[in-house]
Amino acid sequence: MTAAGVTIGRALRHRSFAIGTALTLLLVLVAALSLAWTPHSPYELDVPNRLRAPQAANWLGTDAFGRDVLSLLMVGAQASIIVGVVAVGIGMAFGVALGALASARRGWAEEMVMRFSDFAFAFPAILSAIMLTAILGPGMVNAIIAIGIFNIPVFARVTRASANAIWAREFVLAARASGKGALHITLEHVLPNITSVIVVQGTIQFATAILAEAALSYLGLGTQPPQPSWGRMLAEAQTMMFTRPELAIFPGVAIALAVLGLNLLGDGMRDLLDPRLRRSR
Amino acid sequence: MSVFLFKRFLTFVATLLGASIVVFLALEILPGDPAQVMSGTDAPPEVVENLRRKLGLDRPPLERYFAWVGGLLQGDLGISYAYSTPVGELIAERMKVTLPLALIAMALTTVAALALGLFAAQRHGRLGDVGIMGVSQLGIAIPNFWFGILLILLFAVKLQWVAAGGFPGWEEGVWPAIRALLLPAIALATVQAAILARITRSAVLEVLREDFVRTARAKGLSRRRALWTHVLRNALIPVITIMGLQFSNLLAGTIVVENVFYLPGLGRLIFQAISNRDLIVVKDAVLLLAAMVVAVNFVVDLLYAVIDPRLKAHDV
Q: Which of A134, A215, A219 is the closest to B27 by Cβ?
A: A134
Contacts of B253 in chain A (CB under 8 A): 126
**SS3 at position A147:** helix
> What separation, in Å, do the N-terminal and C-terminal C-alpha atoms of chain A show?
29
Contacts of A122 in chain B (CB under 8 A): 15, 19, 248, 290, 293-294, 297
Contact B120, B133 (CB under 8 A): yes
Nearest residue on chain B to A212, alpha-carbon basis: B143
Number of residue pairs across A and B with CB atoms under 8 Å? 133
Give CA angle at A73 (A67, A77), nearest 5°: 140
Q: What is the pLDDT of residue A275?
A: 59
Contacts of A221 in chain B (CB under 8 A): 274
Q: Give the dihedral of Cα atoms B229, B235, B241, B243; nearest 10 deg.
A: -70
Contacts of B23 in chain A (CB under 8 A): 131
Residue B141 C-alpha, separation from nearest chain A C-alpha, in angstroms:
5
Chain B contact probe: residue of A219, A253, A264 with most B CBs at under 10 A: A219
d(CA A24, CA A18): 10
Q: Does the beta-carbon distance from B252 to A234 stay under 8 Å? A: no
**SS3 at position A41:** coil
pTM: 0.88
| Amino acid sitting at position B54 | K
Residue A124 C-alpha, separation from nearest chain B C-alpha, in angstroms:
7
State phi, psi for B230 to the nearest 5 degrees. -110, -45
**Is the pLDDT score of A244 beyond 90?**
no
DSSP one-letter string for chain B: -HHHHHHHHHHHHHHHHHHHHHHHIIIIITTS-HHHHHH-TTS-HHHHHHHHHHTTTTS-HHHHHHHHHHHHHTT---B-TTT-SBHHHHHHHHHHHHHHHHHHHHHHHHHHHHHHHHHHHHTTTSHHHHHHHHHHHHHHHS-HHHHHHHHHIIIIIIS--S-SS----GGG-HHHHHHHHHHHHHHHHHHHHHHHHHHHHHHHHHHHTSHHHHHHHHTT--HHHHIIIIIHHHHHHHHHHHHHHHHHHHHHHHHHHHHHTT--SHHHHHHHHHHTT-HHHHHHHHHHHHHHHHHHHHHHHHHHHHH-HHHHHHH-
Class of the CATH domain delimited by A30-41+58-280: mainly alpha
> What separation, in Å, do the N-terminal and C-terminal C-alpha atoms of chain B show?
7
Cis peptide before A226 (omega within 30 of 0): yes
Q: What is the pLDDT of residue B312?
A: 57
Domain assignments of chain B as residue spans, ordered by start:
2-73, 87-315
Q: What is the pLDDT of residue B316?
A: 37
d(CA B215, CA B235): 17
d(CA A146, CA A152): 10
Enter the ipTM. Answer: 0.88
Query: Which is higher by pLDDT, A275 or A201?
Result: A201
Residue B156 C-alpha, separation from nearest chain A C-alpha, in angstroms:
9
> CA-based Rg of chain B, rounded to a whole angstrom?
24
Q: Write the CB contacts of B8 (distance below 8 Å, at least 6 apart in sequence).
A: B298, B301, B302
Q: How far is CA A78 from the centre of its chain?
A: 12
Q: Is A107 left (phi over 0), alpha (psi -120 to 50) or beta?
A: left
Q: Which of B137, B140, B252 is the closest to A127 by Cβ?
A: B252
Q: What is the pLDDT of residues A108-161, one digit of tens each?
A: 888 888 888 878 877 777 888 878 877 777 889 988 998 998 899 999 999 999
Q: Does the beta-carbon distance from A131 to B255 stay under 8 Å? A: no
Q: Which fold has domain B87-315?
A: MetI-like fold (1.10.3720)
Residue B124 C-alpha, separation from nearest chain A C-alpha, in angstroms:
9
| Amino acid sitting at position B281 | V
- Alpha carbons within 13 angstroms on the beta-carbon side of residue B274 total 24
From residue B229, alpha-carbon distances to A230, B33, B216, B234, B236 in Å are 47, 60, 10, 9, 12
Q: What is the pLDDT of residue B313?
A: 53
Nearest residue on chain B to A257, alpha-carbon basis: B141
Q: What is the pLDDT of residue B311?
A: 60
Nearest residue on chain A to B160, alpha-carbon basis: A242
Q: Does the beta-carbon distance from A122 to B293 stay under 8 Å? A: yes
Q: Does the beta-carbon distance from A241 to B164 stay under 8 Å? A: yes
d(CA B289, CA B295): 10
Residue B295 C-alpha, separation from nearest chain A C-alpha, in angstroms:
9
Q: Which helix (H) or strand (E) holds A95?
A: helix A69-105
**Is the pLDDT score of A280 beyond 70?**
no
Q: What is the pLDDT of residue B1?
A: 55
d(CA B15, CA A87): 25
**Is the pLDDT score of A259 beyond 90?**
yes
State phi, psi for A262 to the nearest 5 degrees. -65, -40
Q: Does the beta-carbon distance from A123 to B19 stay under 8 Å? A: yes
**Of B112, B109, B116, the residue nearest B131 (C-alpha):** B116
Q: What is the pLDDT of residue B186?
A: 95
Query: Which is higher by pLDDT, A249 or B166?
Result: A249
Nearest residue on chain A to B156, alpha-carbon basis: A242
**SS3 at position A207:** helix
Which positions 122-141 of A are in contact with B (Cβ < 8 Å)? 122-127, 130-135
Q: What is the pLDDT of residues A162-219, one digit of tens each?
A: 999 899 899 999 999 999 989 999 999 999 999 989 999 999 999 999 999 999 999 8
Q: What is the pLDDT of residues A3-48, one digit of tens each?
A: 777 777 877 788 889 999 999 999 999 999 999 988 888 888 877 8
**SS3 at position A221:** coil
Q: Does the beta-carbon distance from A257 to B141 stay under 8 Å? A: yes
Would you give per-residue pLDDT tens digits along chain B (316 residues)?
567 778 888 888 988 899 899 889 888 777 667 777 777 777 888 888 888 887 777 888 888 899 999 999 898 888 887 788 899 999 999 999 999 999 999 999 999 999 999 999 988 888 989 999 999 999 999 999 999 999 999 998 889 888 888 888 888 888 889 989 999 999 999 989 999 999 999 899 988 888 888 898 888 888 888 888 888 888 887 888 788 878 888 888 898 999 999 999 998 898 888 877 788 888 899 899 888 888 888 888 788 777 776 665 554 3
